[in-house]
Copies of this chain bind each other. A is one copy, B any other.
Amino acid sequence: MTTTTLFKIGDIAKQTGVSVGTLRYYETEKLLHPAERGENGYRYYGTETLEQVQFIKKAQSLGFSLEEIRHILEVRFSGEKPCELVQDLLAEKINQLENQIQQMTIFKTELEEYRELWGKTPDDQEFSREICPLVASVPLKASIESLTPVFQSI
């Protein structure tokens, strides 16, 4: 007699905070390998599933897509040393994060500049004749050259 600690999908859902629907969805996406099925067709999961779901959540919160997570999990379950791939993915993700952080920091600085700009505009100054100071002061980066407009009378 082999007694195992098994959870039904609802248990996993409650404990991980991930909905039942999402867990089934993860299965279709190969993120949770097909759980053992009872004769009733029910999925039964072991405790390692709890860890795995937590891992998925964690990885997701770290900005990994389900696709990437599946990739990691596949390697984990196939080879002895998923670590190399994982390291690569990790390094890649760190770079991506770094870039994103840089970009966002630049954006934030830009936005702060605009905020300053308007914060200091005493409302009815000359250039509030503009359609909207915001719109007006946002620099147009794309070139507005080489335009061949249609001249027409209406």
Contacts and interface: CB of A to CB of B under 8 A. Distances in A.
Interface residues of A, number: 78
Nearest to A54: B140
A153 B3 contact: yes
B76 A97 contact: no
A98 B108 contact: yes
Interface of A: 1-8, 11, 14-17, 36, 38, 44, 47-48, 50-52, 54-55, 57-59, 61-63, 72, 76, 81-83, 86-87, 90-91, 93-94, 97-98, 100-101, 104-105, 107-108, 110-112, 114-115, 118-119, 121, 123, 128, 131-135, 138-142, 144, 146-154
Given A83-B134, A90-B111, A90-B114, 12 more contacts: A11-B147, A11-B150, A15-B142, A48-B131, A54-B142, A55-B135, A63-B104, A76-B131, A82-B132, A86-B118, A87-B118, A94-B111
